[in-house]
Amino acid sequence: MDHTALSLIELGAVFFALGLLGKLAGRIGMSPIPLYLLGGLAFGQGGLIPLGDIGGFTHLASEIGVVLLLLLLGLEYSAAELITGLKRSWLAGVLDIVLNAAPGAAVALLLGWGPVGAIVMAGVTYISSSGIVAKVLGDLGRLGNRETPVVLSILVFEDLAMALYLPILTALLAGITFLGGLKAVAISLAVITVVLVIALRFGRYVSAIVDSDDREVFLLRVLGAALLVAGLASAMQVSAAVGAFLLGIAISGSTAENAAHLLEPLRDLFAAVFFVVFGLNTNPASIPPVLGWAVALAVITTATKVATGWFAARRQGIGRLGRARAGAALVARGEFSIVIAGLALTAGAVTGELAALATAYVLLMAILGPTAARIVEPVARALQRKSTRAETATVP
């Protein structure tokens, strides 16, 4: 069969299968990310039916998926909201880093993956999935709850931490010297500062450059600007993902809302390809040896995320039930954990075992997170009633 025809058939089969998996995920009320990863595992190296040579397209598509994920995340926030969130949640954010990055780093060191592997796994276990958290809060009707701003402020802090973490990680993966690493961090800080200042004072001008009443022109401008900025950021060793995130922050007002609405279908498509490609590059046979570590990390980091949310909500004077809901909402890991592991895997700086551990961990957490958010309220209420009955029984 002709190579082009075969590639079209394989791509068509991949996209159609992703559609089926996405619908299945919606039916059972979970994030589609675990199913996309499983699909990649099934059709990748060592899978059931290995795909042919469509690597050129899928690699570029997965890179675009990362750019769009971070761009739309940036579109959700204004510079003022980021600064307010940082002021409100900085202490809880620091606690979040300590509690949730340490387990991943410790496991990497125990497995002999060295400092780079430790930094990669620290990021994998640290960052919550903004996409999954936002969807779960919306599905459960908790967007108006008192603890929700606390949850969102923690997510904002994590996103800002990622804007610093990703350039450092990129420099380490590229094998840059210590001095070069310091230079990358300095450039990253300078770029972030400049973008925040531009967004605060001149955001309307940035929005005007990409805005248009014509949907086609608007789409081309926003997507073109995102890819251009991402490419320039990557050339400066800042990270393409961070470049897209900062562009999203600089676009504000109705332009940001319209851009998010227009780009969501593209983001979903290319992000799905990204998760599949990550699964394609992970050998299923490498998962069983690290499954025990993945389960241990899932248990530990579920507890540490709950502790983070509990602490942050308590500082805002929220009651116990709200604290429990805030903690459970933060449990899910997803797209950004895979982005971090994917960067390391692409650079060839880590072993396939790390990719396998990240895959298994995200599979567990993307399922456990929404489940914890759903059951925490009835469980907490049941425990509260049990405690009340016990106290009543002890009264003479």
In contact, 280 and 51? CB cutoff 8 Å: yes
Provide the CB-side half-sphere exposure for 184 (13 A, CA). Answer: 27
* pLDDT tens by residue, 75-92: 876 767 667 767 777 899
* Prediction pTM value: 0.76
Assigned fold of 69-384:
Na+/H+ antiporter like fold (1.20.1530)
- The per-residue pLDDT of the chain, averaged, comes to 81
- What is the DSSP secondary-structure string of 120-167? HHHHHHH---HHHHHHHHHHTT-TTSTTHHHHHHHHHHHHHHHHHHHH
Q: State the pLDDT at residue 180.
A: 67
* pLDDT tens by residue, 236-260: 666 677 778 778 878 878 888 899 8
Nearest Cα residue to 33 out of 281, 283, 362: 362
Each domain of the chain, given as residue ranges in start order, spans 69-384
317 by Cβ neighbours in 10 Å (0-12 / 13-18 / 19+) ranks as exposed
Nearest 5°: CA angle at 336, between 332 and 337?
Answer: 70
> What is the C-alpha separation between 135 and 334, in angstroms, rounded?
12
Nearest Cα residue to 166 out of 111, 228, 230, 96: 230
Please tell me which of 200-204, 212-216, 281-285 the model is most confident about, judged by mean pLDDT.
212-216
* pLDDT tens by residue, 324-368: 999 999 998 987 888 888 888 777 767 778 888 998 998 889 888
